[in-house]
Structure 1
Amino acid sequence: MTARKTPQTMKPATAAKKLGVYLDATPAEFQEGVVSRDELNALQADPPDWLRDLRRDGPHPRPVVAARLGVSISGLARAGITDALTTADINQLRSDNPDWLQREREIRAETRMEEQRLRERDAEDGSRR
């Protein structure tokens, strides 16, 4: 007798995170149920209209906002941005280019350069051994 496999499921918050959308903006039926791995794969492969609209127009969760602005999530918090933003909001911030955004982009660039330097140093140390 073989054991029946139960489908792997996840909470809506986890599925929304994997889809890169803001959970509160998803349809009620998505928020109230569980999402199987197969359903998630289907949503990713052939997104319904609501998912395409959310990805295009938002509101977007903080990781997506941070990525689109070129800053870290911590940088958003330092700037006082804790809510989800729409694509229009993000584009407005880009065009306004406030001081905090310039500063956070510089910090992000410096952080990436330092991370790259450390990776190169570690690779060099590893090749010496």
Structure 2
Amino acid sequence: MKSHQTPQTMKPATAAKKLGVYLEATPAEFQEGVVSRTELNALQADPPAWLVDLRRNGPHPRPVVAAKLGVSISGLARAGVTEALTTEQIDALKQESPEWLQRERATQAEVRKETARIKEKNAEQAAQQQSPRA
């Protein structure tokens, strides 16, 4: 007996998330269908023009907006930025450097510093537990 394996598929929202694009900005045929793992791999390996354009110009989903601005997604929410932004809008925000953006970038820098400190502390503790006792 030969087992028949069905291809793994995902919803368009999941595929858009994996591609790092805003679902509502994708073509209708992408939004309305299902995407197989093979199709997703093909889109990643050889992106069509619409995908290249979306990645370059947006509109971008919140995780991408947050990363481009150097803040957290929560920081965007605190600032009231809930919609997708284009690259042009993100660049304009960087130029304006509003007070909320400066504050959220500082907060994000502190979080990264604390995360690094904890990681280092855990590594030291693990090394101490590994070393033989005399």
- TM-score range with shorter-chain normalisation? over 0.9
Structure-1 separation of matches of 2:124 and 2:87: 42
Structure-2 separation of matches of 1:78 and 1:44: 33
User: What TM-score, normalized by structure 2, do the two folds share?
Assistant: 0.96
Structure number with greater Rg is 2
Query: Is 1:111 aligned with 2:131?
Result: no
Gaps of 5+ in 2: 130-134
Structure 2 counterpart of 1:120? 120
Offset at residue 99 of structure 1 (A): 0.4
Structure 1 counterpart of 2:70? 70
Structure-2 separation of matches of 1:17 and 1:29: 16
Please identify runs of 4+ aligned residues in structure 1 that moved more than 3 A: none
Offset at residue 2 of structure 1 (A): 1.2
Structure 2 counterpart of 1:15? 15
Give RMSD over aligned pairs.
0.4
Structure-2 separation of matches of 1:56 and 1:123: 38
User: Match of 2:111, as an amino acid?
Assistant: T
Count of equivalent residues: 129
Gaps of 5+ in 1: none
Structure-1 separation of matches of 2:6 and 2:27: 26
CA deviations 1:67-119 (Å, max 9, x no partner) are 00000000000000000000000000000000000000000000000000000
Structure-2 separation of matches of 1:113 and 1:87: 28
